[in-house]
Structure 1
Amino acid sequence: MTTTLITGANKGLGFETARRLIAAGHTVYVGSRDADRGRRAAEQLGSRPVLLDVTDDASVAAAAKTIEADGGLDVLVNNAGIEMRTADGGVVGAAEVTADMMRTLFETNVFGVVRVTHAFLPLLQRSAAPVVVNVSSGLASMARVTDPSTPTYAYPGVSYPASKTAVNMITVQYAKAFPGMRINAVEPGYTATDLNGNTGTQTVEEGAEIIVRMAQVSRDGPTGAYFDAEGPLPW
């Protein structure tokens, strides 16, 4: 039995990923920073709730102890993330972004990935087939955001693309450090979720496809790579 933890899994892409992996036979822990929402999501899914705020050391450490006591972990999906929008739902542009805004966003999107990965590394290292999936974005691709022919070129925000580019680098460096694990970054696509005010053009079913696929990668599968549903992406 494969045991999987998904952060930020009480809704959106995390919830759909949990649903699909449970259907594939995984035992899934639904990580949520809100205990009630996490419990309700777990009841709907038939999964296990675990209180987990990726911005809080004590919360992450407690979640790791809980999952260790239950038997360990094989797959970690670092899904929790925020974007930050203006009061009218728009993207915070380069003229409006502040260091404090970036610090808040990086606390979840970047430091949260490191905090959770670090806490669960001892459990993953005991697994026969450990996998880490870091949910990134197409906006993390330097090749795409500098190419005027791509939709990502027009995105006006600074914080979110920068945070996800950092996630890509974190992915590569962890993958090199732990060659026995499969550690990859994925781009779900522009999916309608609360993160973007449900403005995305894809459904969560479509967006979760690549996350689910890479969560089930084989022991001889790719690592240190960056994918969307169509295949490898340029860095």
Structure 2
Amino acid sequence: MSIVGQFNLGFIVVRLRHEEDNQQTDDLFIIDQHAADEKYNFETLQATTRIDSQKLVRPRPLELTAADELIAIENADVLRENGFEISVANDDEDRSRSSGHVSRVTLVSHPVSGKVVFDMKDLEELLELLQDQPTPSNTETPSKPRRMVRCSKARAMFASRACRKSVMIGKALTKQQMTSVVRHMGTMDQPWNCPHGRPTMRHLVSLGGGDLKMASAAYAQRPVQWANFT
């Protein structure tokens, strides 16, 4: 795989050379430099950002179902990364309470981040998301950070930050910069669209046997070895 060059100060053209039906074939891809870099920065912020929190003047008991209570306790570290700090009552405190279900979980800190205001609906959304993904992956590597659960308000905040810090359309890139953008795509969980939905890459054409042909649906399903781009 190799970098062909930059097109219109906004797109990176790359080539994949391989054998198909005993013939050498070149496949050309075009990558949106801003969308691709934005998605990389977005996923990095999602995985690594710890949202600041502010202690409440008075801790707030949370009225949770037994199921949500268990999810909150098991994922206290995830809530903490999102700025929600909780306190859990111990068994002695439980026994001293009156009969009936009383929440063991108390909110002691609330997330704060610039002009973004978080509320209890964001905590409820996090708990709902954690029902499907109760624990972040422990298989992260330096090149592939773990996947962190975030509420929609936090995702929108990260998307805005990622957009501002990414390579812009109209910026000329060196070959080294283009290679970096392309290789970063191999570290993403979902590299195909930017946070705002714009496609990051399209297959242009296959050049083989002297003929120009569009890629087939079957070809579009092949994995791309991003790390091998040079």
TM-score by length of 1: 0.21
Richer in helix (by share): 1
Which structure carries more strand by proportion? 2
TM-score, structure 2 length as denominator? Answer: 0.21
